[in-house]
Structure 1
Amino acid sequence: MPPLLSSPLRIGDLELRNRLVATAHGSGVVSAGTARPGDDDYWRRCAAGGAAMVIAGGTVVGSDSGNRTGNITDASLPDAVPGLRRRAQAITDGGAVPVCQLVHLGRETLGAEIWEHPVAPSAIRSPREPVRARVMSDADIDRVIADFVRSSRHAAAAGFAAVELHAAHGYLLAQFLSPATNHRADADTAAGRAAILHRLHAEITEACPGLVVGVRVSLDGAEEAGLDTDGLCELLPLLDMFAYRNVTAGVRTTYVRDMATAEPPLLPLLRRLRAATAGPLLVSQAFRSRAQIEEALTAGADLVGMARPFIADPDIAAKLLSGADNRIRPCVSCNEDCRSFTPVLLCTVNPALAPPGLAARPARPLRFGPPPSRPGKVAVVGAGPSGLEAALRLAPAHDVTLLDAMPWIGGQLRTAAQAPNRTGWSALLRFYQDNLTGVRTELGQRVTPADLTDFDEIIVATGATETDTAGAETTTSVLTDPHRFRPGNRVVVVDDGFGYWPALGAVEAALAGGAGQVTVLTPVAAIAAGIPAESRVQLLRRLAGHPVDFVVQAALAEVRRIASGTVVRYRNVLSGEAIELICDRLVVAGERIATDWRSFPENLPQARVQVIGDALVPRRVSHAVAEGYAAAETILTGARVPAQAG
């Protein structure tokens, strides 16, 4: 008998090869509502990695639910069918069942400009929108149902085996299902609120014989446009006509949980969910490990879905099925690239995911010296994310030595992973540690050019350091020493104005240490502006109820010591008013300055030198990983890339 993870499953007329599903997401390779060439390349790669079913998301059913940029597929358009056909065929070619998820956003606009006005079941404003939507008439409901049917016809004609109705995350169908957002005359009961799903199922199956129809619903956000556990369990038995139920969690801004969510939120509820429905049950949200997936399957789920882990490593299913767990490039749930679509779907940890026509994410290491005449020894100086990626990429084919002044790998990524609720970065470091087979590591000693005269290729990935302020601690120092904070401490954290994780991590570290009061000074008018929107919502929820004050438009002016502590003087950047407060610990997020790497190309004329990552310019993990990958590719391909002026 095959293990549960690899067991096939039948859903209607569909045969699924295992229990792993790539749940709905979009490639972003879309223009004017239609998939562009290159979109199918993404889906073919996703399916070829072993998933049993691949659900293509980001597909609306009409122009009144799309944004003005047009990078969301509109399945109601006849012109969309050719692109949908390429997408469905690509998934089929990869061996997976192709599913098209269909959605109408209703009162939600995704925070983007739209061409038309939003609609909703009732006149109840979303907490994410400035105004309430127009209330739908019966004729509006008829029109939207016709849009779903027309979109389903197009999906079926394009070769999709199934459609999934998106009735989750607070979008239109979820707005009908939730008593918080549906106050229509027929909405007194769960059956009344679910009537629109019954009608959609009946009309789609009549119009598209043979097309399998599933539905996605979600838990949480009951006060907005969602359901609590009781409401979800009351709803599930009413959805037995659907071929499968996809259950997830959250509403808009909370349904893409970041790395602070350590465990899948549905795991504790699975036995109850299983008891509420007899048909195939797919569960998703924050599943990242074999143990979590197997626990879900043992508790009664028939299928387990993931989206971001397939973006980080499209081969995740095949690796899980073969037992190669340590070779999975892990999704760390940072949400920094996969949620922005600038310009298309990208991933912080996966440099091979690139815009159409490119083999890898664009990156340009700084290069000096001629390439060697033949493959030679490679030194990677610096074991942060850029150096680790370069060494990993080169290891199978080259003689590689990885060097770092610290006695451990990780660089500033290791520091970031030590912040409360940011330990997801540790998974990436474990991945590198487990897969640096064949790489010689020399840690704990500072490297000079004189140590590298025997090498033909030098990759400089020496990172950056955080500047300090007299009388204050750096974010690096407090995150690497969690015992610095004491219960009752009065702590001031000074943000650099960019609202990114170093200062925010210091805030959470202070609270974890029992600080009695944390005051955050920022010279700008926003709080945590530099982190993804979903992370900001989740962070502020974590901070709610704790002794934290944010003071905006406050610039640090002076620091001085007195007997009772540290006096922090700041000024309002608008009025100029000066204010003082006393604290026990002052933490200032300093500018990160690239280390001085110039001695390497100056003193190693026999070698080609490439400078990457924060040593070049301090930026995000995505830049470091991409440049490490690019530097390795230059060596692997023997590319004679011209040197750049230094």
Structure 2
Amino acid sequence: MRTYKHLFSPYKIGNVELNNRILMAPMETNMPTETGEMTHKMIKYYTERAKGGTGAIIIEFTCVERKHGFGSKNQLLLDDDSFIEGHKLLAEEIHKYGTKAFLQLHHAGRETRTSITGAQPVAPSPIPCKIMKETPKELSIEEIKELENKFITAAHRAYKAGYDGVELHAAHGYLLNNFLSPYSNKRKDQYGGSIENRARVIKNIVQGINRDVNQHFPVTVRFSVDEFVKEGLEIEESVLLAKCFEEAGAAAIHASTGIFESVDRNVEPMSFSEGWRTPLAKKIKEAVGIPVIGVGVIRDPDFADTLIEKDHVDFVAMGRSFLADAYWAQKAKEGKADSIIKCTSCCYCAERVTADLEVRCSINPVTGRESTLLPFNPLNKKLNIAVIGGGAAGMAAALNAKERGHAVTLFEASDKLGGLLDVASAGIHKEKWKWYLDYLLTRVDELNIEVHLNRKINDDDLSQMNFDEVILATGMIPKEDRILTDDSIRIINVVEAFRNKEEIRNKKVAVLGSRGAGLELSHYLAEHNNEVIAISRSGKREIGRNIDPINRRDILKHVKRLPIEFLTNTDVDKVENKKLFLTSDEKGTTSYDVDLIVSARGFQPNDPFHNKDYHRIGSCKEPRKILDAVYEGYVEISEIS
């Protein structure tokens, strides 16, 4: 059993000792009230992560000045003493489990809108963020000093609330980041120009907190050590900035990356490798004597432990990893790494909060629902439950039922469990979905769930079996594309294509459909020496539309350089004499020589059962995503228990 002795060694930030090197990174949840108050559901959300064994939790961005500083419609506020009590309740709950609590202090700067704050955004220079597209008001020196004092006063309130320290949010393009960066700071006074001047606002805040609050109350600085924009911060300057912060009295550096205009360097899509940011953190660590926190796609405890062992960083911060599994740290400590639900970087969480919705996770149905789904209700009666279908929905339901004490039998018609997870993980950069499949298989084995493979069950079979409840999780199957054809060109569906992808090489392939499955298949085939025509009935804007925005942008960026011809507002006319005939309003009827046609025009429910009393979950009701399947597998078991 791996013990991860480096990851679970104690270490200090300032004078505050943490019992391990694991931090929960700050992430927006949209759980506060619209007026910035702490809520019961937020406390439950963070408490669950404290129970899970993390060394410290850095509470999400908390606004120090409401008039201009809000970055979200539902963001914590700490610009008045009336907010202290709510924060005190949160800190007390976190401390019950031996976890330390830091609060991230924030001002949105130019990365907000008048529609959010009710006032014109402010920044060191009147340069708009290219995403928010509002020109900010340039701050006067007097206004800058007022804002410095607001950060210091907010830190004092955090101290009164019982937090162990604060973090200054100087990353991702927000106000403090605006001052640091030559990309957004064009001032000619003492707050602009040289590195020393651009660092001045943070140095003043750190020194003010040490002076006016408590010299033993640690202040960490999170900043984007590389903004990944032209004329933005790069690591060479960031090393010098980190030294400035250390000299000012900062207790640690939290090395992040990116701004709104380079969001994939902050909320990474699936294509980014584990720990890709940590070499940048290592360069900061080599230059300073205070602890350095590394962050960015850290998923595996072996990898995290190695980072500490090799002295690349002093702490690892994980955000989405704790959405996927609140008990990441505890499982690692107990040597149960295979039982960790690893974040797949599907970006569903980011998609929700960007839409002003509360945070959720596609593979952890409890995330964001801790106050309503936990704790489990007491088991009224042990039931004998049959689950039909061994995909994500079926396995999730079987696991939840078994964990609650029911007897469970899982039937799967094919020769292996997993459903369409093998297809989901087959595309380029999609292998992280296999992590979730591996987790499900591990848990099914650990809980000793009775599994019957190659067993196709029907209504008659179930009527002769003695089950108290039946859960149908038979999933979805590709829609049958009705094409007028003389069979001169082979036609297969997207599932068949992905499951036999190694056989498709050096061909000209027509892919019918360019949304999620069609775009991902086109990407894969083009990367493997095939020439691809992607044919869509809808317009160009619909290409990949049902993929989350961050991963969609990433895929579209990659396919631009590949031999893929996208034909939009186009449909199939017929297949005849080894030619594919297409019709469109723009071009009329055209023909193409292709070797293979793959239909990727959606899915349909697979529900061969007639009994309406069975519990149906996931895509056997209607085609949807893994997140729906996993959630329904959890809730359905809750309701029948």
- TM-score between the two structures when normalised by the length of structure 2: 0.88
Shift of 1:507: 2.4
The answer on 1:312 being equivalent to 2:315 is no
Alpha carbons 2:114, 2:120 under 8 Å: kept: no
Residues 11 and 375 from structure 1, CA distance in 2 versus in 1: closer, same or farther, beyond 3 angstroms?
Answer: closer
Mapped pair 1:425 → 2:428: no
Match of 1:200 in 2: 205
Structure 2 distance, partners of 1:261, 1:2, is 24
* Aligned residue number for residue 217 of structure 2: 211
Matching of residue 262 in structure 1 with residue 273 in structure 2: yes
Larger deviation, residues 195-204 vs 73-82? 73-82
Cα deviation for residue 600 of structure 1 reads 4.1
Residue aligning to 2:453: 443
Per the alignment, in what secondary structure is the counterpart of residue 436 of structure 2? helix
| 1:367 equivalent in structure 2 | none
Letter in 1 for 2:500: D
Of stretches 561-570 and 260-269 in structure 1, the one that deviates more from structure 2 is: 561-570
- In the other structure, the counterpart of 1:284 is 295
Q: What letter matches 1:24 in structure 2? A: P
Q: In 2 relative to 1, CA 40–376 (structure 1 residues): closer, same or farther, beyond 3 Å? A: closer
Q: Report how far residue 238 of structure 1 moved.
A: 2.0
Contact 2:24 2:57 in 1 (8 A): yes
From 311, 324, 346, the equivalent of 1:334 is 346
Measure the CA separation in 2 of the matches of 1:374 and 1:75: 47
Q: Return 274-283 or 328-337, whichever deviates more.
A: 328-337
Hey, what does 1:274 align to over in structure 2? 285
- Asked if the contact 1:344/1:355 (under 8 Å) is kept, the reply is no
State the AA in 2 paired with 1:163: V
Q: 2:137 aligns with which of 134, 152, 159?
A: 134
- Rounded to whole Å, the distance in 2 between the matches of 1:138 and 1:169 is 23
Alpha-carbon distance in structure 2 between the residues aligned to 1:177 and 1:520: 47
Describe the shift of the 1:277–1:313 C-alpha distance in structure 2 as closer, same or farther (beyond 3 A).
same
- Give, in whole Å, the separation in 2 of the partners of 1:33 and 1:126: 24
Q: Which residue does the alignment assign to 1:454?
A: 465
Does the 8 Å CA contact 2:5/2:305 hold for their aligned counterparts? no
Find the counterpart in structure 1 of residue 558 from structure 2.
Answer: 542
> Which range is displaced more, 539-548 or 352-361?
352-361
- CA change 1:52–1:226 in 2 (3 A) is farther
Instruction: Supply the distance in 2 between the matched residues of 1:50 and 1:613 (Cα, whole angstroms).
Output: 32
Instruction: Give percent identity, aligned residues only.
Output: 24
The answer on 1:155 being equivalent to 2:170 is no
Alpha carbons 2:4, 2:302 under 8 Å: kept: no
SS in 1 for 2:102: strand
Alignment of 1:456-495 (within 5 A): 456=467, 457-469=469-481, 470=483, 473-483=492-502, 485-487=504-506, 489=508, 491-495=510-514
Match of 1:459, SS state, is: strand
The reply to whether residue 512 of structure 1 matches residue 527 of structure 2 is yes
The alpha carbon displacement at 1:595 in A equals: 1.6
Instruction: Give how far 1:233 is off.
Output: 2.5
Are 1:379 and 2:393 matched, yes or no?
no
**Structure 2: any 5+ residue segments left out of the alignment?**
486-490
Alpha-carbon offset, residue 180 of structure 1: 1.8
Among 390, 398, 401, the alignment partner of 1:394 is 401
CA positional deviation for 1:386: 1.0
The CA distance in 1 between the partners of 2:502 and 2:322, in whole Å, is 37
Task: Give the alignment's Cα RMSD to 1 decimal.
Answer: 2.8
Aligned to 1:589: 600
1:405 is matched with which residue?
Answer: 413
Q: Is the 8 A contact 1:354 1:360 kept in 2?
A: no
Q: Is the 8 A contact 1:355 1:361 kept in 2?
A: no
Residue number in structure 2 paired with 1:349: 363
Q: Is the 8 A contact 1:270 1:299 kept in 2?
A: no
Q: What is the alpha-carbon distance in structure 1 between the residues aligned to residue 575 and residue 608 of structure 2?
A: 36
Give, in angstroms, the shift of residue 325 of structure 1.
Answer: 0.8
Distance, in Å, in 2 between the alignment partners of 1:491 and 1:237 is: 56
Tell me how far apart the structure 1 counterparts of residues 245 and 49 of structure 2 sit (CA, whole Å). Answer: 29
Counterpart position of 1:561: 575
Which aligned pairs between 1:78-227 and structure 2 lie closer than 5 A? 78-109=81-112, 113-185=116-188, 186=190, 187-209=192-214, 210-223=216-229, 226-227=232-233
Structure 1: gaps spanning 5 or more residues: 363-372, 602-607, 638-646
Deviations 1:187-241 (A, max 9, x none): 3332222121111111222221142110002243342685223232332222212
Q: Distance in 1 between matches of 2:565 and 2:133?
A: 25
Report deviation, 1:465: 1.1
Whichever residue aligns with residue 509 of structure 1, its letter is Y
Query: How far apart in 2 are the matches of 1:217 and 1:10?
Result: 20
Q: Residues 390 and 419 of structure 2 are in contact (CA less than 8 Å); yes or no, is this contact kept in structure 1?
A: yes
SS, match of residue 592 in structure 2: strand
1:579 CA displacement: 6.3
Go from structure 1 to structure 2 and tell me whether the alpha carbon gap of 1:275 and 1:460 turns closer, same or farther (over 3 Å shift).
same
Change in CA separation of 1:47 and 1:493 when aligned onto 2, cut-off 3 Å:
same
- In structure 2, relative to structure 1, the CA distance for the partners of 1:158 and 1:595 (3 Å cut) is same
Question: Match of 2:314?
Answer: 302
Of 33, 42, 46, the match for 1:43? 46
More off after superposition, 380-389 vs 320-329? 320-329
In structure 2, what is the Cα distance between the partners aligned to 1:134 and 1:586?
56
Relative to 1, partners in 2 of residues 1:518 and 1:219: Cα closer, same or farther, differing over 3 Å? farther
Match of 1:619 in 2: 624
* Contact 2:4–2:305 (8 Å) recurs in 1: no
Report if the CA contact (8 A) 1:463-1:594 is conserved: yes
Q: How much has 1:463 moved relative to structure 2?
A: 0.7
Structure 1 pair 435/218, CA: closer, same or farther in 2 (3 Å)? same
State the partner residue of 1:631: 636
Q: Secondary structure at the match of 1:402?
A: strand
Moved more, 504-513 or 270-279: 270-279
- CA 1:250–1:387 in structure 2 vs 1: closer, same or farther (change >3 Å)? same
